[in-house]
Amino acid sequence: MKHTSLHIPVQIFQDFTELNPSDALLLEAARKATGHAYAPYSNFRVGAAVMLIDGQTLSGSNQENASFPAGICAERVVLSAASATFPGTAIISLALTYVNKSSTSNRPISPCGICRQTLAEYEQRFNHPIRMILGGISGEIFIVNRATDLLPFAFSNQELNTY
Ligand code: THU
């Protein structure tokens, strides 16, 4: 038996002003996107924005449904939009933010499990890490180099025999 451990590098920024210009631009786009969320059930408005390898940006927001499981997270909205509109163009970063009911959005959120799984497969498809920029409307911002850092021991298609 042997022991091992995983190391996940995270950069923590005091606030928005410390970000590099392209991360700041993307987080700003995600913040704007919270305004397009359809979240009448949770009142938790999530915004996500991606940057493609050619510098284009797209944004998305959570879209809920009266049949709750039918709703979709902001991350998967924007990932699908990017892949459907610009197929074959790698996604290099994703910014994620939110506005909640009490309007206290002063610390980062992190993608849910399904979104982590989805992000992992986009990294694999494009063979490119997706830099994750996680922040609230104010407060500290966490940056993680690749989405799969958030999903150790991920399930992947490697063992999946498809016919
Ligand atoms: N949500 C996201 O959009 N992204 C996440 O990573 C976590 C949760 C949405 C789903 C639902 O519309 C609302 O936030 C509350 O869970």
Of 64, 73, 75, which Cα lies nearest the Cα of 42? 64
* Domain of residue 20, CATH code: 3.40.140.10
Q: Is 141 within a domain?
A: yes
Q: Is 18 noted as a catalytic residue in this protein?
A: no
Which sign does the torsion angle of CA 88, 97, 100, 37 carry?
Answer: negative
Q: 158 falls in which pLDDT band (50, 70, 90)?
A: confident
147 lines ligand 1 (CB under 6 A): no
pLDDT tens digits, residue range 24-63?
Answer: 999 999 999 999 999 999 999 999 999 999 999 999 999 9
Q: Which of 42, 72, 97, 151 most suits a substitution to test ligand 1, by most atoms within 8 Å of the C-beta?
A: 42
Q: Is 97 within a domain?
A: yes
Q: Domain containing 74: what range?
A: 11-152
Coil, strand or helix at 8:
coil
How many percent of the chain have pLDDT more than 70? Answer: 100
Q: So what's the pLDDT on residue 103? A: 79
Q: Is 157 within a domain?
A: no
Q: Is 3 within a domain?
A: no
Q: Is 4 within a domain?
A: no
Q: So what's the pLDDT on residue 3? A: 96
Rg of the chain, C-alpha, whole Å: 16
Would you give the DSSP letter of residue 107? S
Question: Rounded to an integer, what distance in angstroms lies between the CA atom of residue 78 and that of residue 84?
Answer: 10
Of 88, 74, 71, which Cα lies nearest the Cα of 125? 88
Instruction: Count the domains in the chain.
Output: 1
Q: Is 65 within a domain?
A: yes
The one catalytic residue in 18, 28, 64, 75 is 75
| pLDDT higher than 80, residue 65 | yes
Q: What are phi and psi of 117, to 5 degrees?
A: -60, -40
Strands laid side by side in the 91-99 sheet: 10-13, 141-144, 131-135, 91-99, 45-52, 57-61
Q: Is 55 within a domain?
A: yes
60 lines ligand 1 (CB under 6 A): no
Q: Is 5 within a domain?
A: no
- Tell how strand 57-61 and strand 141-144 pair up: unpaired
74 lines ligand 1 (CB under 6 A): yes
pLDDT tens digits, residue range 101-127?
Answer: 887 899 999 999 999 999 999 999 999
